[in-house]
Amino acid sequence: MHRTSVAEVLLTDVRPTSDPDVFEAAASWPRAHSTFPRDGSQRNSPLVLVETLRQLGLYVPLRFHGVPAARHAIISDLHFRLAPENEPTAGPGATEVTCLARVSAVRRARDRTVTGLRLDATFAAHGVTFGEAGGGVRFVDGAGYAALRSRGARDGAGAPRAAARRPEPAALTVNHPQDAVLAEDADGLLVAPADPLHPFLFDHPGDHVPGMVLLEAARQAVAYRSGGALARPYAGRLRAVRFTELAPAARVLCARYHATCAFRVVQGGTPTAYGTFSYP
């Protein structure tokens, strides 16, 4: 799962079906997870659905398509959509979720090793489908990854600039100060995680800003700019066009169009990711 902590492994079972491209899976979403909102809504964060998709996109290729464990997985894009009227509310324990995942667009090298694919999944609880998500991932070996990273990697930490300030957690609609991934300076919002060892966002070391951090930074930016009115998207898309480096701190720009918000992540004047969120 590319996770260090067993508590961050959401999948509990993955099985092939009679269709070689379709897999059944089970996941457990705990109330104790750091992303579980404390606003009384009793609904899991959309980030948990996206993380379940990410774990499926890693486990299925490694377990069933022969992708070597040493390969680097690079997510190119992802999308998700929830049906608010069907979403399960959390009870005393974890929310048990079942998934049906389909693999498509499999790409192979000359030696037949899988180099990329797309995975789309539906999510259900108590027999009722409440969400869907999908995305693309490619797999590169160590030499290929080093070549990709040499094009833009920079040294340094992603800490906010000296003149930047951290908004209050409530303004970002997060549970705790360490859940904040934004800071603000005179020029706008910066991707600046308050906790570089956050148990969910930074479960293991990395050499760039993870896609989940970018997605949460965009969500927090929209919540902040809307005064908390747009806090929980029911749908979203993210496309990464290049790696977002740890330094200098990238900027998040967002613009509202009725119930949809478009966002961009820009670093050194160059866009690194963009997408949209939709709200009720």
pTM of the model: 0.94
Sheet with strand 11-16: strands edge to edge: 11-16, 22-29, 95-108, 114-125, 128-140, 72-82, 235-240, 270-278, 260-267, 251-257, 188-191, 182-185
Give the amino acid at 234: Y
Q: What is the pLDDT of residues 58-99, one digit of tens each?
A: 999 999 999 999 999 999 999 999 999 999 998 888 999 999
What parts of the chain have a pLDDT lower than 70? 151-162
Q: Are 189 and 279 in contact (CB under 8 A)?
A: no
Residue 157's pLDDT is 47
Residue 156's pLDDT is 44
Residue 118's pLDDT is 98
Q: Are 26 and 18 in contact (CB under 8 A)?
A: no
Give the amino acid at 203: D
